[in-house]
Amino acid sequence: MEPNLLPLPDYVGRRRQLMAKLSDRGVAVLPTAGLQTRNRDVHFPFRPDSDFFYLTGFAEPEAVLVLAPGYAGGEQILFCRPRDPEREVWDGRRAGLEGALEMCRVDRCYDVREIDTILPGILENREILMYPMGQSGELDIHVQQWRSHAKSRARQGVRYPVELIESGYLLHEMRMIKDPAEQEIMRAVTGMSAAGHRHGMRQCHPGMHEYQLQAEIEYVFYRLGASHVAYPSIVGAGANACILHYTENRDPMREGDLVLVDAGAELLGYAGDITRSYPVNGIFSPPQLAVYDVVLKSQIAAIGELQIGRSVAAYHEAAVEVLVDGLRDLGILRESREEILERQLYRSFYMHRTGHWLGMDVHDVGDYRGPDGQWRNLEAGMVLTVEPGLYFSPDCADIPEIYRGIGVRIEDDVLVTLGGPEVLSAGVPKIPEEIEALMALGESVR
Ligand code: GLY
Ligand code: MN
Ligand code: MN
């Protein structure tokens, strides 16, 4: 779906839901991210804090959301930058207080420079203060000052926050279950990510450099409306595929190499996260295909485990079992299945887990275990990646030589639904014949 036709998330409803959890004993103070310097006079592209953006949809820096259920001066307050025609000529438009009030549908907007004057009064008679502790030293100091101010009035009978709650504690449970608007946005962002991968497969050929393949893929992300890449793209050919977070992307890709591409777009604050591994020349060699088939079987088995009510650990276990059988069939591990699992001998070749929550953050928030320490069960609306892999670095002296230097990962993004797993990233092929057929079409026209 066109990015500008996507449904608007229910920010007001989310704030109400959080406020109901807080009760009128509590107050939440949620700042957005700050601008980060890249080098002299240059900033990194601004990216709002995910928690703040989840509750406001407001994408300017220097803003703080305050939620104070029952507060007579307005329960939902946004502190932000006022209009400043001179600065706006240099740095771009600002919503200003009136614009932000209308856009975010909060009760009040104040100039962010007034926060030190206004906030201590809001903290008065609140016992619980929720904020992202430790996220910023500067914020920690401000919060202590605002709290001390309220505390200094204790003799006049004013109560002040005595309980501090980490903001993620209440908020991240909400963020873990994606509502219908979020599901639509995630279908869109994974769809555009898949389109980038499909385009990359067609452009790929021996002699091309990793960065050129990266550029082809990211070109499609941006052309389709992505706001950013969700994380630095990984394009690793040959043995570079065995470096899990390889991002140099500088090497030439050679005839006979397999290339591992892990790349995703970001749209409206949501991430796609897709990996495909394919032959640079468009045809899998027999050893590449043998390894690829094991990873693919493992990935398909893992996706099958993403059913409502099943433990979040089950899909990793399912993936590992198939990988272990494959490692034995390939003659890479010779011990018994039980011994390999017991001693985790597969970890020399599969050193990460099978996936993670996906959402506004690529490694999204949310606990994997419940308060009892048990793995939690899957619920409708959760989104996970499924990304098993096998990595045989060239230094693995004790495996058959034909497999050395091959790295394969296959990663899809999956929504847990009542009807079973919905593979959001299904738009990019992963069956070897389908990859070869797409690559055989050759360069697509821009
Ligand atoms: N792209 C990061 C990950 O797959 O976890
Ligand atoms: Mn990834
Ligand atoms: Mn991932």
DSSP annotation string for 62-83: S-EEEE-TT-TT-SEEEEEPPP
Which residue has the least CA distance to atom 3 on ligand 1?
273
Tell me what pLDDT residue 1 has.
62
Name which of 72-76, 147-151, 370-374 the model is least confident about.
Answer: 147-151
Task: Give the amino acid at 340.
Answer: I
**Which 3 state secondary structure label does DSSP give 221?**
helix
Report every protein residue that has its C-beta within 5 angstroms of ion ligand 2. Answer: 262, 273, 411
Q: Point out the ligand 1 atom lying closest to the alpha carbon of residue 352.
A: 5
Q: Is the pLDDT of residue 179 over 90?
A: yes
Mean pLDDT of 401-419: 98
The response to whether residue 384 sits with its C-beta less than 6 Å from ligand 1 reads no
245 catalytic? Reply is yes
Tell me what pLDDT residue 197 has.
98
Q: What's the pLDDT tens digit per position in 69-85?
A: 999 999 999 999 999 99
Ligand nearest to the CA of 260: 2
411 catalytic? Reply is yes
- Give CATH 3.40.350.10 domain extents, the chain: 3-174
Mean pLDDT of 197-201: 98
| CA-to-CA dists, residue 323 to 28, 51, 270, angstroms | 46, 37, 31
Q: What's the pLDDT tens digit per position in 282-318?
A: 999 999 999 999 999 999 999 999 999 999 999 999 9
Domain 177-440 has CATH 3.30.420.40: no
Q: CB pairs under 8 A, 24+ apart, for 441-446?
A: 441/202, 442/202, 443/202, 443/203, 444/199, 444/202, 444/203, 446/219
Catalytic residue among 43, 113, 250, 363: 363
Q: Point out the ligand 1 atom lying closest to the alpha carbon of residue 385.
A: 4
- Give CATH 3.90.230.10 domain extents, the chain: 177-440
Which residue has the least CA distance to atom 5 on ligand 1?
363
Q: How far is the CA of 92 from the centre of ligand 2 (A)?
A: 33
**Which 3 state secondary structure label does DSSP give 239?**
helix
Q: Point out the ligand 1 atom lying closest to the alpha carbon of residue 234.
A: 1
391 catalytic? Reply is yes
Instruction: For the chain, give the mean pLDDT.
Output: 96
Q: What's the pLDDT tens digit per position in 225-261?
A: 999 999 999 999 999 999 999 999 999 999 999 999 9
The response to whether residue 361 sits with its C-beta less than 6 Å from ligand 1 reads no
Residues of 384-414 as b/e, b for ≥16 C-beta within 10 angstroms? bbbbbbbbbbeebeebeeebbbbbbbbbbbb
Burial of 68 (0-12, 13-18, 19+ CB in 10 A): buried
List the helix and strand counts (H, then E) for the chain: 13, 19
Mean pLDDT of 34-55: 95
Q: What is the pTM of this model?
A: 0.96
Task: Give the amino acid at 152.
Answer: S
The response to whether residue 124 sits with its C-beta less than 6 Å from ligand 1 reads no
Mean pLDDT of 183-209: 98
pLDDT band for position 446 (50/70/90)? low
Q: Is the pLDDT of residue 171 over 80?
A: yes
The two structure tokens encoding residue 263: 């790349």
The dihedral formed by the CA atoms of 172, 174, 177 and 179, expressed in degrees to the nearest 10: -140
Q: Point out the ligand 1 atom lying closest to the alpha carbon of residue 411.
A: 4
Query: Under CATH, which architecture does the 3-174 domain have?
Result: 3-Layer(aba) Sandwich (3.40)
352 catalytic? Reply is yes
